[in-house]
Amino acid sequence: MASFQKYTTKQGQMWLFKLDTGINPETGKRQTTTRRGFRTKKEALQAASRVEQELANGLSLSNNNLTYKDVFDQWFSNHSKTIKTSTQKSIESKFSKHIIPRFGKLKIKEINKTYCQQMINEIAQLITSVNDIKIQANQVFKYAVKMDIITKNPLEHVSIPRLQKELYSEENEAAERNYWNKDDMKQFLAITKQELALRDYVLFHLLIYTGARKGEILALTWDDIDLETGSIRFTKTLFHNKGEFIFQTSKTKESRRLISLSTQTTSLLKKWRIRQSETNLAIVNHLEDRKMVFTRDDGSPLRLAYPNEKLEIVIKKHQLHRITIHGLRHTHASLLFEAGASIKEVQERLGHSDIKMTMNIYTHVTDTLKEQTAQKFQRYIEL
């Protein structure tokens, strides 16, 4: 039971309350807490009631001064032991850029829903991946609830705003599509074959013809490729951290996959392997004596940013429809759908763990596929 007392300050009459908070687990003695600065007895009563409720819910008053950053440090210390180095780096980057600057210094018990919504709205004005930022920030709040630091998660029901630019017309949608149609793709490969080194041409050909992730392609070693049967196995990805190249196993079992290669792709890889051997690039061993498919002139792995830079140069020079490296993967999937592949086949070839990811691509298939769908319907009706 709390006791209340009026006291005098330079600002006038104020109220305080004292509350027995139970046994201190460290000393074994009873302890009390005193809160001051209330303008009226009613405010003091309300505050005392909140503290009593926290104690009843099992919350420790020692957590009252924990900031969001304090709780993040606790959470990440445990969470980082369960994830890969690349994931750790990605999470730390998101928190340091977007979350800690906005939440870090605030006492986590004082962060409310209104503030959370304001911060999400603000971040949404800066980046398109605001939902991912919300997911990461939410993990800390969920941890705080789990550890009885707070009783409710203030971020739980915060919504992601739809920006005006997302409500674009079909014309804008076409301008922002992150994939190429068949003619775009053929034009790009013709340019790269003519203007780029054989290594870079093979690199882009493989990205487009396999739909593999950039890190998967750059991590390839020759023992991943069977040139006789025309197949390639993806089991790892390349990651760069603090000046060191690291091979990581694929994140999911679906990502670890064996896919077939076209005869054109197999022939091109054979040509590149001969060229690589002739220039002694495959002899230099930098990483566990692995003979990598794509390396720099000294035999070390290509930088992860290298394909992005080359793609941007070609697009800008020839004024091609702008896409990202990930757009090449999207291109592969879209062209597979055009060729008549099923959603399941595309999912397995791209290594999607969730078919929803494949379905998202399917809902943005090219105009050619949409036209084919209409033609199929007409042919069936006319039979």
Token pair of 187 as six digits: 């034009």
Question: Does residue 161 sit in helix, strand or coil?
Answer: coil
Instruction: List the single range of 89-93, 295-299, 319-323 with lowest mean pLDDT.
Output: 295-299
DSSP state of 235: -
Residue 84 one-letter amino acid: K
For the chain, residues classed under CATH 1.10.443.10 are 182-373
The pLDDT, as a whole number, for residue 286 is 47
Q: Where are the alpha helices (DSSP H) in 80-129?
A: 85-94, 100-103, 113-124
The string of pLDDT tens digits covering residues 231-290 is: 999 999 888 776 678 787 776 777 889 999 999 999 999 999 999 888 764 444 444 445
Q: What SS3 state is found at 365?
A: coil
Residue 219 DSSP one-character state: T
Q: Give the integer Cα–Cα distance in Å for 326 and 334.
A: 13
Render pLDDT for 146-166 as a digit per residue (tens, 0 to 9): 888 888 899 998 998 865 544
Q: What is the pLDDT of residues 67-78, one digit of tens each?
A: 999 999 999 999
Q: How confident is the model at residue 109 (pLDDT cuts 50, 70, 90)?
A: confident
pLDDT the model gives residue 57: 65
> What 3-state DSSP class applies to 315?
helix
Average pLDDT, integer, range 372-378: 68
With bands split at pLDDT 50, 70 and 90, how would you rate the model's confidence at 32?
A: confident
pLDDT tens digits along 201-220: 999 999 999 999 999 999 99
User: Tell me, what's the pLDDT at 281?
Assistant: 46
| Closest C-alpha among 356, 303, 306, 352 to residue 329 | 352
Separation CA 137–CA 21 (nearest Å): 31
Is the pLDDT score of 107 beyond 60? Answer: yes
Quote the tokens at residue 125: 């004005």
Q: With contact defined as beta carbons under 8 Å apart, do 235 and 252 qualify? A: no
**Model confidence at 169: pLDDT above 50:** no
For the cut 80, the answer to whether the pLDDT of residue 362 exceeds it is no
Q: Give the separation between CA 299 and CA 221, rounded to whole angstroms.
A: 12
- pTM for the full predicted model: 0.60
Tell me, what's the pLDDT at 172? 46
pLDDT (mean) for 347-364: 80
Distance between CA atoms of residues 280 and 298, nearest Å:
9
- How many CB atoms lie under 10 A from the CB of residue 361? 23
Distance separating alpha carbons of residues 20 and 113, to the nearest angstrom? 30
Pairing of the two strands 236-241 and 231-234: unpaired
User: What's residue 329's pLDDT?
Assistant: 92
Which pLDDT value is given to residue 14?
Answer: 87
Pick the CATH number of 68-165 from 3.40.630.30, 2.30.40.10, 3.30.559.10, 1.10.150.130: 1.10.150.130
Residue 288, pLDDT score: 42
Euclidean distance between CA atoms 41 and 14, whole angstroms:
8
Closest CA to 294 of 319, 314, 269, 313: 269
Determine contact, residues 333/358, Cβ cutoff 8 Å: yes
Nearest to 153 by CA among 144, 162, 163: 144
CB 350 within 8 A of CB 333: yes
Which CATH number among 3.30.465.10, 3.40.1280.10, 1.10.443.10, 3.40.50.300 corresponds to the domain 182-373? 1.10.443.10
How many CA atoms, within 13 angstroms, populate the side-chain half-sphere of residue 35? 22
Is residue 301 within 8 Å of residue 286, measured between CB atoms? yes
Chain region(s) in the chain for CATH 1.10.150.130: 68-165
107 touches 149 (CB < 8 A): no
Higher pLDDT, 271 or 12: 271
Q: CB within 8 A of 328, min separation 6: which ones?
A: 180, 204, 207, 208, 211, 311
Query: For position 58, what pLDDT does the model report?
Result: 60
Provide the mean pLDDT of the chain.
Answer: 84
Q: What percent of the chain has pLDDT over 70?
A: 83
pLDDT at 194 over 70: yes
Q: Please check whether residue 130 is in contact with residue 124, taking contact to mean a CB–CB distance below 8 angstroms.
A: yes
